[in-house]
Amino acid sequence: MEVVTSYSATSSYPRFALYNPNKPSSLTFKPIIISPVHPWKSFPGRNIEARLLCRILYKRTNLDESGRCGGSDAHSKPFFWFCILGRLNKTFPSQSGSFALRHGHPLRSWKTGSHQKVTSHSQKIRQHISVVFVCLVTAMLLVTSASVALSSPPSWAISEDNLLFLEAWRTIDRAYIEKTFNGQSWFRYREDALRNEPMNNREETYTAIRKMLATLNDPFTRFLEPEKFKSLRSGTQGSLTGVGLSIGYPTGSEGSQAGLVVISAAPGGPANQAGISSGDIILQIDNTSTESMGIYDAAERLQGPEGSSVELTIQSGPIMKHLALTRAKVSLNPVKLRLCEVPGSEKSYPRIGYIKLTSFNQNASASVKEAIDALRSNSVNAFVLDLRDNSGGLFPEGIETAKIWLDEGVIVYICDNRGVRDIYDTDGSSAIAASEPLAVLVNKGTASASEILASALKDNKRAVLFGEPTYGKGKIQSVFQLSDGSGLAVTVARYETPAHNDIDKVGVIPDHPLPNSFLKDDDGFCGCLQDSASACYVNNVQLFSR
């Protein structure tokens, strides 16, 4: 049995009755009085609605036993104001037709002496019954919401360390190349980390950030503490204190070896003077294995105060070396130049301008321009650009250096998982050496920005490449500074050469090899062109032939 509201076929006022679902329905319902009806003494309508609502909410609130709103602690009850609003409703009519409802108290009823008044108010009654129903539903929802709120854990304030973590998370979210984030929900990771990872101090927050980045499984996306970030910036600005090594993860033929590979050794630096060269494997730094060591951790260990020492265990081919190096201030002047004269040359290249570019710091492109101007003042016939052991650096400097040599063409395509998203090209407005014959020398120490430059000159048929396949770093990192001075190195894109080759872990393939004994310094280069009896001899005409 259930209570329903219906309208009689002969009257327009609502009635509440008992409905039996097993009995055929009828259009006419008669009110069934299930308890004695007592006269209602014409209370004002605003009190009728307020009392009705308070009685209905009685079981779900802490209203007093009399059914009144409030009580001794009424202001602490969730529905106190709901009842007050009910009392302030002045639109409910003061008198209406028959009404019966049982809700834990004796049923009450009221009547009027005039059927005409009942009829005239019928429409308003129907409206207010609807209002009462809506209020009931709203009250139930509010009770449910209050229960959930009371059962939920108390809210917590966002701390300064939480904000730093969120800053790092947001940087990865916006900049990282792989939008699947290694197959995980990046938003869910944020919520779980804020809930579960301790971030009570800065070191705990740094640990949480490192842990977050480790889930990407990308060795080139790394967190940099303030000192590491400062050191990285100084390395692109002209000098650093250390042993003068550029290092990377083994790729290609070195991929199966444990440790870190030497990409290049800065000319004149402690490592170079000790005989360390590109392709050597660093097995230990100060007796700590590099098998699972990150490149940024290794770089921090290699750098240090000028005059301090560091011990390295190096695998160079079949030879194992244990070396003690003294750290020094390594100048990163990126360019060396040399005029090579080839006496008795039968062809048109007797004066060759040699430019060795060792890195792409913020002075790289400007230094290359100065070198070209200086060599042109000596009436050179051709140029050789030596990128061997150039481990890269600033991506924009690689682009600007390419523009020096090209009168037009694409330099590089920047790609993400959806394909090409940006194109770097040139219209020749920055070119100052787009006509002279050009040869480019590369080796397995040629990486990153120098690979972009080499492939741009090769694919645009501006230069002939000599040497061996390059390192094969086909992804681009950007460095982002966080608010506390720390930073993130983030893989933001991969690139394709102008011929749409993806060189990652493959490298740029040169047009011709160089003799194994071909020397790397400027004096040795000139000697290999001048002495036809030397084992490293290269005919200067062949150097510029395709």
Which residues are known catalytic residues? 448, 473
- Residue 520: name the closest of 342, 331, 354, 318 by CA: 354
Q: Who contacts 228 (Cβ-Cβ below 8 Å, separation ≥6)?
A: 296, 299, 300, 487
Q: Which two tokens stand for residue 430?
A: 């920055």
Chain center to CA of 467: 37
Tell me the Ramachandran region of residue 519: left when phi exceeds 0, alpha when psi lies from -120 to 50, beta otherwise: beta
The answer to whether the CB of 431 falls within 8 A of the CB of 403 is yes
The answer to whether the CB of 258 falls within 8 A of the CB of 315 is no
Query: Distance between CA 158 and CA 166 in Å, rounded?
Result: 10
Q: Who contacts 493 (Cβ-Cβ below 8 Å, separation ≥6)?
A: 177, 414, 415, 416, 421, 422, 475, 476
Number of neighbouring beta carbons within 10 Å of residue 200: 9
Tell me the Ramachandran region of residue 268: left when phi exceeds 0, alpha when psi lies from -120 to 50, beta otherwise: left
Q: Which two tokens stand for residue 441?
A: 């020398």
Query: Distance between CA 474 and CA 277 in Å, rounded?
Result: 22
Query: Distance between CA 313 and CA 287 in Å, rounded?
Result: 8
> What is the β-pairing status of strands 464-467 and 438-442?
parallel
Query: Distance between CA 109 and CA 101 in Å, rounded?
Result: 8
Number of neighbouring beta carbons within 10 Å of residue 372: 22
- Residue 476: name the closest of 301, 221, 194, 227 by CA: 221
Q: Tell me the β-bridge partners of 440.
A: 385, 465
3-state secondary structure 295-337: HHHHHHHHCCCCCCEEEEEEEECCEEEEEEEECEEEECCCEEE
Query: Distance between CA 270 and CA 307 in Å, rounded?
Result: 11
Number of neighbouring beta carbons within 10 Å of residue 526: 19
Q: Who contacts 435 (Cβ-Cβ below 8 Å, separation ≥6)?
A: none
Chain center to CA of 116: 74
SS3 content of the chain, % helix, strand, coil (to 5): 30, 20, 45
How far CA 138 is from CA of 53, 135, 142, 219, 279, in Å, comes to 11, 5, 6, 55, 74
The answer to whether the CB of 392 falls within 8 A of the CB of 446 is no
Q: Which two tokens stand for residue 2?
A: 């259930």
- Residue 13: name the closest of 102, 135, 128, 91 by CA: 128
Secondary structure (3-state) at 364? helix
